[in-house]
Amino acid sequence: MTELSLRRSTNSPGRVRTVVKHASLILIALIMLYPVLWMVVSSLRPNNEIFRSPGLELDGLQVHNYTDGWTALSSPFGHYLLNSAIVVLGAIIGNLVSCSMAAYAFARLEFTGKRWWFAIMLGTIMLPIHVIIVPQYIMFSQVGWVNTFLPLIVPKMLATDAFFVFLMVQFIRGLPRELDEAARIDGAGHPRIFLRIILPLMLPALATTTIFTFIWTWNDFFSQLIYLTDPNMYTVPVALRSFVDSTVDSSWGSMFAMSVVSLVPIFLAFLIGQRYLVKGIATTGIK
Amino acid sequence: MSGLNTPRLRAPARPRRNRDDKSFRTPARSRRNRDNKAAALFLLPWFAGLVLITLGPIAASLALGFTDYNLIQPAKFSGLHNFSRMLSDERLHQALGVTFTYVLVSVPLQLGCALGLALLLDRGLRGLAFYRSAFYLPSLLGSSVAIAVLWRQIFGAEGMVNQVLDLVGVQGRGWISDPSTALSTLIVLNVWTFGAPMVIFLAGLRQIPVMYYEAASVDGATRWMQFRKITLPLLSPIVFFNLVLQIIHAFQSFTQAFVVSGGSGGPSDSTLFFTLYLYQRGFNNFDMGYASALAWLLLIIIAGFSGINFWAAKYWVFYHD
C-alpha cells in the first residue's frame, strides 16, 4: 500500500512532465521539418498560391510543375540526375577501394615512420578544400580535365577523403588480431588477409562510407560549380542553381518541384542508411 | 615435406617458450621489412593523393600567392604585392567581418540547440528514434542547393515567413533583400542543421554511467546540480570536439550564401562569405595569384582558431582518465 502510493506520488508529476516533454519535442520536430514539408506541398501548387498560403492544404495537384521543371533547362532534368549519379558512383567506388587500403596499412602494418604518416593523414582531414582549389584547378585545366567528371572522381580514388581512412582505421583496430595471425600461419600474405578477412568484416564501416560519400557528393556544390561549366556536364546542384538564376519569380512551382526531385535520393539514402549514419558520426566523434 | 616434421622432432631440445623472448617469433626486422613492402603497396593511392592532390597544391598555392597569374599569361612574380593588397581591400575586410559574425554567432547557437535537444532525448525516452531522425534529417539536407532555393523563397519579401507573420498581424520585410537581416537568415539555416552535433552529444551522454546520477540524487543533488557537476564536465571533451569541428565547418560555408545571393554575396556584400569572395576573385576574375594568397589567409585563420581552441581547452575540458 505504501509502495503503491509512493509510486503514484512520484508518478503523476512525472507523467505531466513526460507529456509536456513529448509535446514540446513534437512541436520542435514539426518546426524543423515544416519548411521541407511546405516545399513538397508547394511544388504541387499553382505559382500564385505559393505566395499566399503558408499552410499545407492542397486543392488539386499541379503535376505540370514537375513536367515543366523537368524540361525547363537545355537538357531534361534526368540528364543532370544521370550526371550526378555517375559522379557519385565514381566517388563511392574510389573511396571504398582507396580508403580501405590505406586504412589497412595504418591499422595493421608496422612500417617505417608510421606515426608520422598517420599524423599527416589526420591533419589533412581538417584541410579546407578552398586552400587547394586554385592550384588544383590550374593543374586539372592544364591536363584538359575541366568539364569532365575526372577532377571530381580521381581525387577520391587517391584516398583524399581522409575522414573515411580514419573511420576505417578505427573500425579495423576493433577487429581481433588473432584472425590475421591465424591467416598468416596458414600462409596468407597481406593482400590476401586484407581481401579475405578484413574487408568482409568491415562491411559496416564500408556501408557508412558509402552512405556519407553518397550524400556529401550528391550535395557538393563548390567543386562541381568550379569544374563543370558546360551545361551538358552539369550535375543536379549546378543545374538547379542555373535554374534559379535563369528564371523569373513566376516559376517557383517548377523550381520547387526540381528541388524536391533533387532531395529524393538524399532522403532515400537517409532512410536506408540511418543506422550507419548515426553509428558513423557517433563512433568517429568519440573515439 | 619432411621439413614440416623436423621442428616437432626437435621440440624437446628447444628452450621453453617464453612470452618475453621474441626469438621464437618472426624477427622484428624481417617483419618490418615485409610490412614496409606491403605498406608501400597499400598506401600507394593515398600517397599519390597526398602528393598530387593535397600537399603539392598547398605548396603551389603558397608560391602562387607571390605572383600575378590569370591562367593565360605566365605567372609573374610580384613579391608581397598580394599581401599588401589585402590591407587595403575593403571587400576582403567586409568578407572577414561577415564570416566572423557568421561563425561566432551561428556555431554557439547551433551547439546550444544540439546540446539542449540531446539532453531532452536522453535515455529510454519513448519515440527516441523518431525524434532523433526528425532532428538529424535537416543536417543532411542543409548544405544542398535545393534547401538554399527554399530559403530564398521563405525569407523573401512575399515568402512563407512573412505570410505566417501576416497571420498574426506583424508586418514582415524582405529578410534576404535587406542587408541588415540577410546574414541572419543564413545563421538560422546553420542553426537548423544542429542534428549532426546532437547525435554526437547523444552518443557522449550514453557513456556517462547512470550510477553517477543515482549517487548524486541519493545525496540530494538537484537536476541542475547534476547537470553542472556531472553531465557538463564529463561531456566537455565532446563539446570541445563539436566546437572545433563546427567552427572549421562554418568557415567553409559557401553554397547557401552563393545561392541565396545569386553568387554576388549581396545585398551590399552582407552575405559575402570569405569562400565566396575567394571564388569571385579566383573563378570570376581569374585573379589566381590573389586567390591563392586569400586561400592561405583562410588556412591561417582556421589554424589560428583551432589553435586558440586547443589552448583554451586546458581550462575547461575535463578528461577523467
What are the sequence ranges of the domains in chain A?
2-66, 73-286
Best mutation target, B29, B31, B50, B67, to test chain A (most A CBs within 10 A): B50
Q: Which residue of A has its CA nearest to B251?
A: A128
Please, is B307 exposed, middle or buried when counting C-beta atoms within 10 Å of its C-beta (0-12, 13-18, 19+)?
A: exposed
Write down the pLDDT at residue A286: 45
C-alpha–C-alpha distance, residues B289 and B80, integer Å: 11
By C-alpha distance, which of A211, A253, A218 is closest to B144? A218
Distance of CA A272 to the CA centre of its chain: 12
Contacts with A121 from chain B: Cβ below 8 Å = 46, 50
Beta-carbon separation of A262 and B254 below 8 A: no
What pLDDT is attached to residue A1? 39
Q: How far apart are CA B155 and CA B97, in angstroms?
A: 22
Query: Which residue in the set A131, A157, A241 is minimally distant from B298, CB to CB?
Result: A131
**What ipTM does this complex have?**
0.88
Record: contact A111-B35, CB cut-off 8 A: yes
| Confidence (pLDDT) at A11 | 57
What is the least distance, in Å, from the CA of B282 to any CA of chain A?
Answer: 7
Which of B32, B121, B153 has the CB atom closest to A252's CB atom? B153
**Contact (CB<8Å) B46/A263:** no
Residue of B nearest to A20 (CA): B120
- Give A178's contacts (C-beta < 8 A, 6+ positions apart): none
Q: What is the nearest CA distance from A132 to chain B, expressed in angstroms?
A: 5
Distance CA A218, CA A236 (A): 8
Nearest-by-CA chain A residue for B153: A252
Number of H helices, E strands in chain B: 17, 2
Own/partner long-range contacts of B232-236 (Cβ < 8 Å, ≥24 apart): B233/B318, B233/B320, B234/B207, B234/B208, B234/B318, B234/B320, B235/B115, B235/B201, B235/B204, B235/B205, B235/B208, B236/B316, B236/B317, B236/B318
Cα(B221)–Cα(B217) distance, integer angstroms: 5
**CB A189 to CB B134 under 8 A?**
no
Each residue's pLDDT, cut to its tens digit, for chain A (287 residues) gives: 344 444 444 556 778 888 898 999 999 999 999 999 999 999 998 887 877 788 888 878 888 889 988 998 889 999 999 999 999 999 999 999 999 999 999 999 999 999 999 999 998 988 888 889 999 999 999 999 999 999 999 999 999 999 999 999 999 998 999 988 999 999 889 999 999 999 999 999 999 999 999 999 999 999 999 999 999 999 999 999 988 877 665 688 899 999 999 999 999 999 988 878 777 766 655 43
> How far apart are the two ends of chain A, measured CA to CA in Å?
48
B99, B159 contact by CB (below 8 A):
no
Residues of chain B with pLDDT under 70: 1-28, 320-321
The chain A residue lying nearest B245, using CA atoms, is: A126
Q: Decide which of 2.60.40.10, 1.10.3720.10, 3.40.50.300, 3.30.200.20 is the CATH code for A73-286.
A: 1.10.3720.10
Which residues have CB under 8 Å from B172's CB, separation 6+? B157, B161, B162, B165, B166
Residues of B with Cβ-Cβ distance to A39 under 8 angstroms? 146, 150
| Torsion angle (degrees, nearest 10) of CA B312, B113, B148, B53 | 30
- Report the residue of chain A nearest B293, measured CA to CA: A131
Question: What is the Cα–Cα distance from A204 to A209, expressed in whole angstroms?
Answer: 9
Kindly report, residue by residue over B134-147, the tens digit of the pLDDT.
999 999 999 999 99
Chain A residues inside the 8 Å CB shell of B48: 158
Instruction: List pLDDT tens digits, range A143-189.
Output: 999 999 999 999 999 999 999 999 999 999 989 999 889 999 998 89
Secondary structure of B14-70 as H, E, C letters:
CCCCCCCCHHHCCCHHHHHHHHHHHHHHHCHHHHHHHHHHHHHHHHHHHHHCCEECC
Contacts of A146 in chain B (CB under 8 A): none
- Tell which of A130, A211, A262 to mutate to test the B interface (max B CBs under 10 Å): A130
B172–chain A nearest CA distance, Å:
14
Nearest to A219 among B54, B61, B143 (CB): B143
Nearest Cβ partner for A240 among B145, B204, B291: B145
pLDDT for A248 equals 62
Closest residue in A to B294 (Cα) is A131
Chain A CB contacts of B58 under 8 Å are 127, 131-132, 135
Cross-chain Cβ contact A97/B45 below 8 Å = yes
Give B279's DSSP letter.
Answer: H
**Chain B residues within 8 A of A53 when measuring between CB atoms:** 163
Spell out the domains of chain B, with CATH numbers in brackets: 82-143+181-316 (1.10.3720.10)
Integer Cα distance of B166 and B162 in angstroms: 6
Burial of residue A108, with CB atoms counted within 10 A of its CB: 0-12 exposed, 13-18 middle, 19 or more buried = buried
- Express each pLDDT in B81-139 by its tens digit: 999 999 999 999 999 999 999 999 999 999 999 999 999 987 778 888 889 999 999 99
Q: Are B189 and B256 in contact (CB under 8 A)?
A: yes
The distance of B180 to chain A (nearest Cα, Å) reads 23
